[in-house]
Amino acid sequence: MKEELVIDVSGMTKRFGDRTVVNKIDLQVQKGEIYGFLGPNGSGKTTFIRMLCGLLRADEGSGTCLGHDVIKESEIVKRQVGYMTQRFSFYEDLSIAENLDFVARVYGLRNRREAVQESLERLGLKERQQQLAGALSGGWKQRMALSACLIHQPKLLLLDEPTAGVDPKARRDFWEQIQDLAAQGLTVLITTHYMDEAERCNRLAYIAYGNLLIRGAVDEVIAYTHLKTWSVSGPDLPQLAHELRGRPGVEQAVAFGNLLHISGSDPGALDAAIAPFRKQGYEWVQVQSGLEDAFIHLMDASQDNYSS
């Protein structure tokens, strides 16, 4: 049986003046999938999300979101999507319950009061419902924003760096909620800079300065970079890193606690670069390259489009 595609778009392009910020991107996301959208700041991730949910009109491209044409039926798409922006965008002088009631009014929900109460209970906000939004911690603001996104029972969640600035426990709680929602059939497209969060996604897409470079499962993204990584322990690792950086074949020399990770995509050149240091009291072990290694490699290999 063919999987149902909630997002199925091709050639999505957006320009601002002479600058192309999203360049002919194709993306397919299946129902119930948690799809991670990665890339450095300014790479067009937010612009792409806004085109999907009808807040921006694409200059080129076509396809469907929730079975509706992303260009011609954007108003229908808007009402079936929950969009959580990077910044907290609610009234800080209103309570949690008042903010949720306002969102319910915007969507024209007939059973508004019931929807608000259900939304409060779903994410554990009932005891805090009279607290002013402006007095909430980052984690509780995040929870309230997610609750507002869900109040109209959307079929797709678009989450733009939703855990930025919150503590590790709040991030973990948030992801447990997202995984529960996905298990119930809700589809999630999420942008993040946290590699541990990216590893929780079913599939990933990496966008760099408007261009989609790679997509697939975590292991497929890592394999795409063809990186070889050595872990080294020993004396004065900062000095070792300084000596290795810039040598042919060495693309990364990054501290990981009491270890140093040395990576490169040309195995022969990398081995030649580290050879002089293999007998100086250091212990070298080849390790599996991680998603962060792949992320940095892709970012370093990408060309900024700011002036293009």
- Greatest C-alpha distance within the chain: 74
Last residue of a domain, one of 186, 221, 256: 221
CA dist., res. 303 & res. 226, Å (int): 19
Whether residues 99 and 55 share a domain: the answer is: yes
**127 and 250, same domain (yes or no):** no
> Same domain for 197 and 105?
yes
Query: Which CATH number characterizes residue 249's domain?
Result: 3.30.70.100
How much is the average pLDDT of 278-286?
88
> Which DSSP string do the residues of 14-80 spell out, in sequence order?
EEETTEEEEEEEEEEEETT-EEEEE--TTSSHHHHHHHHTTSS--SEEEEEETTEETTTTHHHHHTT
* pLDDT of the residue at 164: 83
Q: What is the pLDDT of residue 272?
A: 95
Question: What mean pLDDT is reported for the chain?
Answer: 91
Evaluate if pTM is beyond 0.85: yes
Instruction: Flag whether 123 is in a domain.
Output: yes
* 79 shares its domain with 179: yes
Q: What is the DSSP string of 245-261?
A: TTSTT--EEEEETTEEE
Strands 5-16 and 81-84: unpaired
253 lies in the same domain as 212: no
Residue 278 has pLDDT above 90, yes or no: no
Q: What's the DSSP call for residue 126? A: G
Claim to verify: residue 243 and residue 193 sit in the same structural domain: no
Evaluate whether residue 16 is within a structural domain. yes
Q: Is residue 269, in this structure, part of any structural domain at all? A: yes
Determine, yes or no, domain membership for 301. Answer: no
> Which structural domain range is residue 145 located in?
5-221
Give domain status of residue 194, yes or no.
Answer: yes
Helix (H) or strand (E) holding 179: helix 168-183
The count of domains in the chain is 2
> What interhelical angle do 291-300 and 218-225 show, nearest 10?
50
User: What is the enclosing helix (H) or strand (E) of 214?
Assistant: strand 211-216
Please determine, for residue 301, whether its predicted confidence score (pLDDT) is greater than 90. no
pLDDT digits (tens, 9 = 90+) for 24-36: 999 999 999 999 9
Q: What's the number of CA atoms in the CB half-sphere (13 Å) around residue 61?
A: 26
Owner of token pair 């990665």? 38
Instruction: Note whether 258 and 145 are same-domain residues.
Output: no
* CATH label of the domain that carries residue 130: 3.40.50.300
- 280 in the same domain as 197: no
Residue 299 included in any domain: no
**Is 127 in the same domain as 260?**
no
Residue 306 has pLDDT above 70, yes or no: no
Is 22 in the same domain as 68? yes
Query: Would residue 304 count as lying in a domain?
Result: no
In a domain, 295, yes or no: no
- The backbone torsions φ and ψ at residue 303, rounded to the nearest 5 degrees and listed phi first, read -105, 125
Statement to judge: residues 150 and 207 lie in one domain: yes
Of 204, 221, 238, which residue constitutes the final position of a domain? 221
The encoded tokens of residue 218 equal 């975590």
Residues 151 and 270 in one domain: no
Cα 154 to chain center, whole Å? 19
pLDDT at 1 over 50: no
- Give the DSSP letter of residue 186: -
Task: Using alpha carbons only, give the angle 81, 84, 88 rounded to the nearest 5 degrees.
Answer: 150
Q: Are the CB atoms for 138 and 165 separated by under 8 Å? A: yes
